[in-house]
């Protein structure tokens, strides 16, 4: 046993000493809001930079570094709004590529953190931060950074960093003379407090507002403001008026949230590229909405875009993406509280997908079902995008991603509600609790168009989704991951300046959800759960800005019109194919020209084109459209006969019959003049069935016999046939009844 332990220990030492371990992946990535430095970019990024840097020198195999990594990542996310003034970076000294850097900076222990002031020169080796290890707290590190920033000299001060020293009465009175802002927020606090400086740096990237700290010892200013509590916040205006700011708790989170929501305050977008004037999208009219409501317009728009647009990127649905689509429809059918006609369409499509098992489906077939091409009454999904609560200040902001988050939050809450109502019928399993989250995960993985977003969500799912074991945990898991995404995207180019990425729900929507512990914000998860269940309930859905059900159903085409439309499309395609074949045969077979001329000679001018009467087809006569020559001659003969009859009504019936016979015989003679071999080859090229070729080869005496009878003769034959049939039927019934009568009579006599 001891030998086995020694062998395992030796193997572990070998792995740690192996080159692959030494040069392995680091503990950080750019997704952590941490700049990853190496020999290629170290000098370029770190020196002569307008902001200060905190750099961690670590080794990926170091246990203390591994324990400290979550703290460093949390700090980077916590102060990411401070990036114009200070940023975080990391260097992996375990990578042999960076060994020279770590030696030149005399790094002997891990982790080592050094501070580089703005505009540092290449010879500067940084200021050492003491006591920075795995036991360091987020608060202590944040306060340490503020202390380091304040130690900057005037020549080294980051140009985008606001002043952090306390404001005086004179500065406040003359502030709007030198600064073009709308608001001046004054944080009144004790000298040892960091609240004012933290809020100042939190608002660093926002326009039309400035923040200054005021010490409680500044009696002139505190008396003017009428300060009653410390800490407190006051808004000062350009006309020398002011008012107090009332929040639930005087903490950094509450003050920052309140100030960002002031009218006119938005994230600075000066670094965004100017819009291309040749490709400007006209913004839709703004719609006033209540942020405390969920709008059905957003939910239906999410369904339209996801089911018709994003799924449409796949020409064929098969394998894993078909399975993902089935799960998505199954969840929608069970939990989506949609309008009746939307739910009916979802149910029809879901049943159709289930019936198909796992056979591949083309997108065209799928979209026909989703568009209700069968014309089922009262089943449709409104087309188009109709954002209300998810509308952005510009067309490319918010919209679909916002609505998809809303949709899945709603589905998790509805699943929990459904499970509660069915608790007495079935036992809840982990698979049931994960049903909505799994459907979302598969949809995002296989259909969500933003590949980077899909990979990030998949990473979050792999990290902890499998640990969800109840419906309430599913609700909170999705909420916490949504807030993590908001934190990651805050300040990105995709963020709407009018709707900054905040931690949700904000204090003004759920004050009970927030609290403070040791001056730091904490979530009250039970209150958050209660809020989410109320916010995403069907009772909180607003149906404003929607087209009415009756109006939508009135626009829906009846089944007959849809079928006629399908027939028209098919006939149009056939007509185009025939025209193309005509051109090809005209070019390829010169002998066909003679046939066309011959046929043209017996056609009447202005022949009918393809049209529709009550859904029936009237075929167009074309020169090359030869299938049955006898029937073609008959039609030509009839049309000429009717024309002659209209021109000369006073002629006798005998003369008209003679003229008809002559025309008929002439037509037959013309048909005889056709080269049968050429005609047969033409028909074979057009893939005409053998029955049509047989029709051409019929005996001429049969045709003559059929055409020698007039309409009156044919009518009489039909009448005689009907009368004879009735006579035979009556005789049959008579003898049958007579037979039964005799049989009954003989039986009665014997009795």
Can you give 620-670 as a three-state secondary structure string?
Answer: CCCCCCCCCHHHHHHHHHHHHHHHHHHHCCCCCHHHHHHHHHHHHHHHHHH
Bridge-based pairing of strands 52-58 and 86-92 is parallel
Of 434-443, 486-495, 588-597, where does mean pLDDT reach its minimum? 588-597
pLDDT given for residue 580 in this prediction? 59
Quote the Cα angle for 598-604-605, to 5°: 105
Would you call 492 helix, strand, or coil by DSSP?
Answer: coil
Q: Is 65 one of the catalytic residues?
A: yes
Instruction: Give the Cα separation of 105 and 91 in Å (integer).
Output: 11
Of 25-34, 288-297, 365-374, 670-679, where does mean pLDDT reach its minimum? 670-679
CB atoms within 10 A of CB 513: 21
The 10s digit of each residue's pLDDT in 154-203 is 667 788 888 888 988 888 888 888 888 889 999 999 989 999 999 999 99
Binned at pLDDT 50, 70 and 90, residue 224 comes out as confident
Q: Which sign, positive or negative, has the C-alpha torsion 358, 359, 360, 362?
A: negative
Instruction: Give the Cα separation of 597 and 288 in Å (integer).
Output: 71
Mean pLDDT within 451-456: 84
pLDDT given for residue 458 in this prediction? 92
Instruction: Give the Cα separation of 664 and 514 in Å (integer).
Output: 98
ω into 231 cis (within 30 of 0)? yes
Binned at pLDDT 50, 70 and 90, residue 303 comes out as very high
Tell me which range, 112-126, 309-323, 534-548, is most confidently predicted by mean pLDDT.
534-548
Q: Is 62 one of the catalytic residues?
A: yes
Mean pLDDT within 139-156: 83
pLDDT given for residue 283 in this prediction? 55
Q: pLDDT > 70: what percent of the chain?
A: 71
> Between 532 and 97, whose confidence is greater?
532
Tokens standing for 475? 């609700």
Residues 6+ apart with CB under 8 A from 546: 296, 297, 300, 382, 386
pLDDT given for residue 564 in this prediction? 53
Of 49, 62, 450, 513, catalytic: 62
The 10s digit of each residue's pLDDT in 353-400 is 988 777 889 888 999 999 888 878 888 899 888 999 999 888 778 889
Instruction: Give the Cα separation of 434 and 448 in Å (integer).
Output: 19
* 285 phi-psi bin (left φ>0, alpha ψ -120 to 50, beta other): beta
CB atoms within 10 A of CB 401: 17
Binned at pLDDT 50, 70 and 90, residue 708 comes out as low
Mean pLDDT within 464-481: 93
Bridge-based pairing of strands 541-542 and 611-613 is unpaired
> Between 383 and 698, whose confidence is greater?
383
pLDDT higher than 70, residue 647:
no
Of 65, 161, 390, 510, catalytic: 65
Round the average pLDDT of the chain to a whole number and report it: 76
Would you call 292 helix, strand, or coil by DSSP?
Answer: coil
The 10s digit of each residue's pLDDT in 510-535 is 989 998 887 778 899 999 999 999 99
* Alpha carbon 362 to chain centroid, angstroms: 19
Count of all residues that appear for the chain in the document: 751
Complete domains list, the chain, with CATH: 16-150 (3.40.30.10), 169-267 (3.40.30.10), 293-499+537-542 (1.20.120.310), 627-648+658-723 (no CATH)
């Amino acid at each position: 046993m001891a030998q086995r332990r020694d062998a395992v220990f030796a193997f572990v030492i070998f792995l740690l000493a192996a080159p692959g371990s030494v040069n392995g992946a680091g503990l950080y990535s750019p997704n952590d809001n941490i700049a990853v430095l190496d020999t290629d970019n170290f000098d370029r990024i770190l020196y002569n930079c307008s902001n200060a840097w905190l750099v961690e020198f670590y080794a990926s195999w170091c246990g203390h570094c591994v324990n400290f990594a979550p703290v460093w990542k949390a700090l980077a996310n916590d102060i990411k709004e401070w990036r114009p003034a200070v940023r975080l970076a990391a260097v992996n000294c375990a990578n042999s590529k960076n060994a020279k850097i770590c030696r030149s900076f005399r790094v002997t222990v891990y982790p080592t953190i050094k501070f580089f002031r703005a505009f540092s020169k290449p010879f500067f080796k940084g200021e050492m931060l003491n006591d920075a290890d795995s036991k360091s707290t987020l608060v202590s590190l944040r306060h340490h950074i503020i202390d380091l920033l304040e130690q900057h000299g005037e020549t080294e001060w980051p140009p985008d960093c606001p002043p952090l020293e306390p404001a005086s009465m004179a500065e406040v009175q003359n502030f709007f003379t030198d600064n073009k802002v709308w608001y001046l927020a004054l944080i009144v606090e004790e000298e040892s407090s960091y609240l004012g400086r933290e809020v100042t740096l939190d608002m660093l990237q926002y326009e039309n507002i400035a923040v200054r700290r005021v010490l409680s010892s500044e009696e002139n200013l505190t008396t003017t403001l009428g300060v009653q509590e410390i800490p407190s916040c006051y808004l000062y205006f350009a006309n020398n008026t002011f008012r107090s700011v009332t929040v639930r708790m005087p903490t950094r989170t509450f003050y920052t949230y309140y100030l960002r929501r002031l009218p006119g305050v938005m994230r600075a977008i000066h670094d965004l590229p100017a819009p291309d004037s040749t490709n400007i999208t006209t913004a839709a009219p703004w719609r006033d909405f209540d942020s405390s409501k969920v709008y059905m317009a957003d939910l239906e728009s999410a369904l339209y875009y996801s089911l018709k647009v994003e799924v449409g990127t796949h020409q064929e649905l098969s394998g894993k993406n078909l399975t993902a689509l089935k799960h998505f429809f199954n969840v929608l059918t069970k939990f989506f509280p949609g309008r009746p006609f939307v739910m009916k369409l979802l149910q029809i499509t879901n049943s159709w997908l289930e019936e198909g098992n796992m056979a591949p489906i083309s997108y065209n077939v799928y979209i026909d079902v989703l568009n209700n091409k069968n014309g089922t009454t009262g089943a449709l999904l409104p087309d188009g995008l109709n954002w209300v609560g998810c509308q952005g200040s510009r067309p490319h902001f918010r919209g679909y991603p916002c609505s998809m988050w809303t949709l899945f939050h709603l589905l998790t809450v509805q699943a929990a509600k459904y499970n509660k109502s069915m608790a007495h019928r079935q036992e809840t399993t982990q698979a049931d609790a994960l049903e909505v989250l799994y459907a979302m995960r598969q949809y995002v993985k296989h259909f969500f168009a933003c590949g980077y977003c899909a990979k990030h969500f998949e990473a979050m799912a792999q990290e902890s989704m499998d640990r969800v074991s109840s419906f309430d945990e599913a609700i909170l898991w999705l909420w916490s991951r949504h807030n993590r995404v908001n934190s990651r995207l805050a300040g990105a180019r995709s963020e709407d300046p009018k709707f900054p990425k905040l931690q949700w729900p904000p204090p003004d929507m759920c004050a009970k959800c927030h609290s403070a512990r040791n001056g730091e914000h904490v979530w009250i998860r039970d209150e958050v759960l209660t809020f989410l269940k109320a916010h995403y309930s069907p009772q909180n859905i607003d149906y404003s800005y929607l087209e009415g059900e009756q109006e939508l159903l009135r626009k829906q085409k009846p089944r007959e019109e849809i079928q006629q439309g399908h027939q028209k499309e098919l006939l149009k395609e056939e007509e185009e194919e025939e025209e193309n074949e005509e051109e090809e045969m005209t070019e390829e077979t010169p002998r066909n020209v003679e046939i066309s001329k011959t046929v043209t000679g017996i056609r009447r001018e202005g022949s009918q084109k393809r049209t529709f009467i009550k859904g029936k087809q009237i075929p167009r006569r074309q020169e090359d459209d030869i299938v049955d020559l006898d029937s073609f001659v008959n039609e030509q003969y009839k049309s000429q006969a009717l024309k002659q009859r209209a021109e000369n009504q006073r002629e006798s019936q005998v003369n008209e019959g003679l003229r008809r016979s002559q025309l008929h015989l002439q037509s037959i003679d013309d048909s005889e003049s056709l080269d049968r071999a050429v005609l047969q080859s033409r028909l074979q090229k057009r893939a005409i069935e053998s029955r049509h070729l047989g029709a051409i080869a019929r005996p001429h005496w049969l045709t003559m016999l059929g055409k020698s009878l007039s309409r009156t003769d044919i009518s009489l034959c039909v009448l005689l046939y009907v009368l004879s049939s009735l006579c035979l039927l009556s005789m049959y019934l008579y003898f049958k009844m007579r037979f039964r009568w005799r049989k009954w009579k003989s039986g009665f006599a014997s009795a």
